[in-house]
């Protein structure tokens, strides 16, 4: 078994390997790696070599996911653990979003081999999670979870290339996507990922066991009033759509500040006619609401829409909205999450639990298999940015917690 002192060196290798994979990019000098673009082949060549060195059988499934299977003791055990995350990136990305979960997954395989884990392990590099190329995320994990809608094949990228053509150009057969579904022997999926937020850093913690992925409401809301001359229209005769929207934006913020764990964001504002000397005739704003408890989220959306109506009525405006998304929260598996939290404690770390405010492949996989997620602190809370990073002691902690997790899984299976 790996002595704890060797974990530090292993952590350094994980970080170096992520940075090496970051050199496989569509844009020299920036990390950009969209679904099925040429650098994906380079990533797969690298990871395949790593997998084979660990004694794993490697293939790329029909959805473009790279999959390596380690069978304990050379014979197929009854149960299988799946580990992984995605290897596509946003444009001008960092080196760790997604990739870290695959590279750490391979390290966990090495740890599993050392403790003779009585389960097979499949490590998966999901081909598509970010939704950058075709505007729809989770293409890779949808296929593995058996939730790939064939109509997705007709989606086109900015160059007019369909998902179907992109798969074929990569040497894949879209008709075989149903075969990409996870093996029925799979009893657990674990995704290791950077937090992509500032919470662990604010609490000076290395790791968190993720309790669930928050539910999310997105809507667009348009305040309409009367565009008019900024000089000749007295204040009391105005129907200023932006003034109404501003009052509402403040009430959105205020509700979120006073509702535990609710996050609410107005990220977008479009004013018409958007001229300095014209009173705004309309102001369209977005709302993004997230909470781990669906009823809290739904009540918050209703309260905010009531406030929009009340503000509009008082100001002689109208408010109209349409929901763009109403996605329930996805809880992680309690038993697996407890294994992660206990393993953190065994490694001398607080058993921090937190909800994920962002979507992840784990959210899709949870519909098909008991699923857990382990978060690593994001220094500065920075992600989707070249400055994205991960601390070596936190990676070391993830290795120690991983060994504990695998030991608990082994104990349960023996």
Minimal distance, residue 356 CB to its own copies, in Å: 7
List the one residue out of 309, 137, 140, 305 whose CA is nearest residue 217: 305
Helix 99-114 vs helix 4-21: angle between axes, to the nearest 10 degrees?
150
In angstroms, rounded to a whole number, what is the distance separating the alpha carbons of residues 92 and 95?
10
Shortest Å distance, C-beta 273 to its own copies: 8
Of 55-63, 155-163, 235-243, 339-347, which segment contacts its own copies by CB under 8 A? 235-243
Q: Which is nearer to its own copies, 324 or 335 (CB)?
A: 324
Q: What is the rounded distance in angstroms from the CA atom of residue 208 to the CA atom of residue 290?
A: 19
The CA distance from 199 to 355, in Å, is: 11
Interface residue with its own copies among 28, 235, 348, 414 (CB under 8 A) is 235
Determine the Cα–Cα distance for residues 225 and 231; give it in Å rounded to an integer: 17
Which CB atom, from 276 or from 348, has the smaller least distance to its own copies? 276
Residue count of the chain? 414
Q: Looking at 82, 87, 283, 400, which residue binds its own copies (CB under 8 A)?
A: 283
The whole-angstrom separation of Cα 312 and Cα 245 is 9
**Shorter beta-carbon distance to its own copies: residue 151 or 232:** 232
Interface region with its own copies, contact rule CB under 8 A, candidates 3-11, 232-240, 341-349, 386-394: 232-240
Q: Which of 3, 149, 159, 232 binds its own copies (CB under 8 A)?
A: 232
Cα separation values, 105 from 9, 57, 277, 385, Å: 16, 15, 58, 23
Rounded to a whole number of angstroms, the minimum distance from the CB of residue 138 to its own copies is 15
Give CA–CA dist 172/163, Å, rounded: 11
Mind giving me the DSSP string for 330-368?
EEPPHHHHHHHHHHHHHTTS---EEEESS--HHHHHTTT
Among 23, 49, 274, 295, binds its own copies (CB under 8 A): 274
Give min distance, CB of 54 to its own copies, in A.
32
The reply on whether position 364 binds its own copies by CB under 8 A is no
d(CA 71, CA 117): 10
Residue (of 150, 148, 104) closest to 128 by Cα position: 148
Closest CB to its own copies among residues 71, 286: 286
Among residues 58, 110, 187, 246, which is the contact residue for its own copies, using CB under 8 A? 246
**Residue spans of beta strands (DSSP E) within 167-265:** 186-194, 207-213, 215-224, 228-229, 263-265
Choose which of 384, 391, 407, 410 interacts with its own copies (CB under 8 A).
384
Site string for its own copies, 169-208 (x = CB under 8 A): --------------------------xxxxx--x------
Rounded to a whole number of angstroms, the minimum distance from the CB of residue 23 to its own copies is: 25
> In the bound complex, what is the minimum distance in angstroms from residue 132's beta carbon to its own copies?
13
Residues 168 and 163: their CA atoms lie apart, in Å, by: 9
Between residues 197 and 404, which has the closer beta carbon with respect to its own copies?
Answer: 197
Shortest Å, Cβ 267 to its own copies: 5
The stretch near its own copies (CB under 8 A) out of 2-10, 42-50, 73-81, 228-236 is 228-236
Would you tell me how many other CB atoms lie within 10 Å of the CB of residue 352? 18
Q: Is 280 in the site for its own copies (CB under 8 A)?
A: yes
Q: What is the distance between the alpha carbons of residues 270 and 355, in angstroms, rounded to a whole number?
A: 31
The residues in 284-323 that bind its own copies, with binding defined as CB under 8 A, are 286-288, 290
Name the site residues for its own copies (rule: CB under 8 A): 195-199, 202, 214, 216, 218, 220, 228-237, 240, 242-243, 245-247, 249-250, 253, 256-257, 261-271, 273-280, 283, 286-288, 290, 324, 356-359, 381, 383-384
């Amino acid at each position: 078994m790996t002595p704890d002192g060797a974990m530090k060196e292993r952590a350094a290798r994980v970080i170096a390997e992520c940075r090496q994979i970051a050199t496989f990019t569509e844009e020299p000098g920036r990390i950009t790696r969209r679904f099925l673009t040429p650098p994906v082949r380079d990533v797969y060549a690298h990871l395949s070599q790593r997998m084979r060195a660990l004694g794993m059988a490697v293939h790329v499934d029909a959805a473009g996911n790279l999959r390596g299977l380690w069978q304990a003791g050379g014979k197929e055990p009854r149960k299988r653990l799946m580990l992984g995350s995605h290897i596509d990136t946003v444009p001008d990305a960092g080196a760790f979003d997604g990739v870290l979960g695959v590279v750490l997954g391979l390290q966990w395989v090495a740890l599993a081999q050392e403790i003779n884990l009585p389960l097979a392990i499949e490590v998966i590099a999901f081909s598509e999670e970010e939704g950058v190329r075709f505007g729809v995320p989770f293409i890779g994990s949808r296929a593995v979870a058996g939730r790939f809608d064939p109509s997705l094949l007709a989606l086109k990228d900015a160059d007019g290339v369909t998902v179907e053509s992109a798969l074929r150009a990569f040497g894949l057969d879209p008709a075989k996507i149903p075969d990409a579904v996870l093996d029925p022997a799979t009893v657990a999926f674990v995704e290791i990922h950077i937090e992509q937020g500032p919470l662990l850093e604010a609490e000076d913690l290395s790791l968190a066991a993720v309790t669930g992925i928050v539910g999310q409401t997105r809507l667009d809301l348009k305040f309409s009033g009367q565009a008019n001359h900024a000089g000749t229209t007295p204040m009391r005769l105005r129907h200023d759509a932006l003034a109404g929207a501003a009052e509402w934006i403040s009430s959105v913020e205020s509700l979120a500040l006073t509702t535990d764990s609710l996050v609410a964001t107005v990220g977008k504002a479009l004013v018409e006619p958007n001229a300095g000397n014209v009173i705004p005739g309309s102001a369209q704003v977005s709302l993004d609401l997230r909470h781990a408890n669906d009823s809290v989220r739904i009540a918050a959306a209703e309260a905010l829409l009531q406030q929009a109506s009340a503000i509009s009525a008082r100001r002689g405006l109208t408010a109209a909205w349409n929901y763009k998304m109403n996605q329930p929260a996805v809880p992680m598996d309690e038993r697996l999450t407890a294994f992660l939290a206990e393993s953190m404690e065994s490694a001398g770390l607080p058993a921090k639990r937190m909800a994920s405010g962002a979507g992840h492949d784990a959210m899709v996989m949870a519909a098909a298999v008991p699923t857990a997620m382990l978060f690593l602190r994001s220094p500065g809370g920075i992600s989707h940015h070249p400055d994205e990073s991960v601390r070596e002691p936190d990676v070391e902690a993830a290795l120690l917690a991983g060994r504990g997790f695998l030991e608990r899984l082994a104990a349960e299976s023996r």
